[in-house]
């Protein structure tokens, strides 16, 4: 692979790594009219949990495969995890573009947390927001890590791939697992 095409990959990874979190933040933070996609998007958070669970399982399998020298299975598991993560991202954007944000503790589903609802949620609300915050921050940070780790493997720079994967793998696994935890914690309030 030429240095020029390597620079092109790096530039593309940087652009994608900035554009995705910026677009997601815009959709969630900027108030706008919600989009009607022509189907019920309220079931998408369950799909997100399934995709995150599957990604976590694939990441664990990927580690097993690489440790046991099954490099083709390792590569396949990682590519499927990337595809599932991409499907998750598209689905996540669709969900948040078509539904108001759900508040943890909003028992009556009116979009406002009363003092009574905050009291009932108690310390679990703080735990939820801690897990959610770490999940969101790392989900933005993980994008370039995954892409650069894949690039190193594609370029057959396996020493650099391994070195970067030691950082990428636990971070990606944490994002996948906490995605499921966040869903389980917020699902009573959907």
Would you call 181 helix, strand, or coil by DSSP?
helix
Task: Write down the pLDDT at residue 66.
Answer: 97
Cβ partners under 8 Å of residue 55, min gap 6: 81, 84, 85, 88, 172, 176
Question: What is the Cβ-side half-sphere exposure of residue 25, based on CA atoms within 13 angstroms?
Answer: 10
Mean pLDDT computed over 170-182: 98
Task: Write down the pLDDT at residue 6.
Answer: 73
Considering the four listed CATH numbers 1.10.1140.10, 3.20.20.70, 3.40.50.970, 1.20.120.80, the one that applies to the domain covering 41-189 is: 1.20.120.80
* pLDDT tens string 22-72: 888 888 777 676 788 899 999 999 999 999 999 999 999 999 999 999 999
Is pLDDT at 4 greater than 50 in this prediction? no
Task: Write down the pLDDT at residue 35.
Answer: 84
Mean pLDDT computed over 1-15: 75
Tell which residue, 24, 13, 15, has the closest CA to residue 139. 24
Question: What is the Cβ-side half-sphere exposure of residue 88, based on CA atoms within 13 angstroms?
Answer: 22
* pLDDT tens string 85-140: 999 999 998 998 888 888 999 999 888 889 999 999 999 999 999 999 999 999 99
Single pTM value for the model: 0.88
Task: Write down the pLDDT at residue 2.
Answer: 52
Residue 183: CB atoms within 10 A of its CB come to: 18
């Amino acid at each position: 692979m030429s240095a020029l095409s390597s620079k092109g990959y790096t530039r593309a990874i940087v652009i994608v790594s900035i554009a995705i979190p910026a677009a997601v933040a815009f959709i969630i933070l900027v108030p706008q009219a919600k989009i009607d996609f022509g189907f019920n998007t309220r079931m998408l958070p369950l799909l997100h949990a399934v995709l995150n669970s599957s990604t976590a399982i694939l990441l664990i399998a990927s580690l097993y495969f690489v440790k046991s020298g099954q490099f083709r299975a390792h590569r396949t598991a990682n590519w499927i995890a990337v595809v599932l993560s991409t499907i998750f991202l598209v689905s996540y954007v669709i969900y948040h573009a078509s539904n108001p944000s759900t508040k943890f503790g909003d028992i009556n589903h009116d979009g406002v947390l009363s003092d009574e609802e905050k009291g009932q949620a108690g310390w679990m609300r703080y735990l939820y927001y801690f897990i959610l915050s770490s999940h969101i921050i790392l989900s933005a940070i993980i994008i370039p890590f995954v892409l650069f780790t894949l690039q190193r493997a594609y370029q057959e720079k396996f020493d650099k791939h391994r070195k970067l994967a030691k950082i990428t793998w636990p971070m990606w696994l944490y994002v996948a697992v906490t995605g499921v935890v966040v869903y389980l914690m917020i699902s009573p309030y959907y």
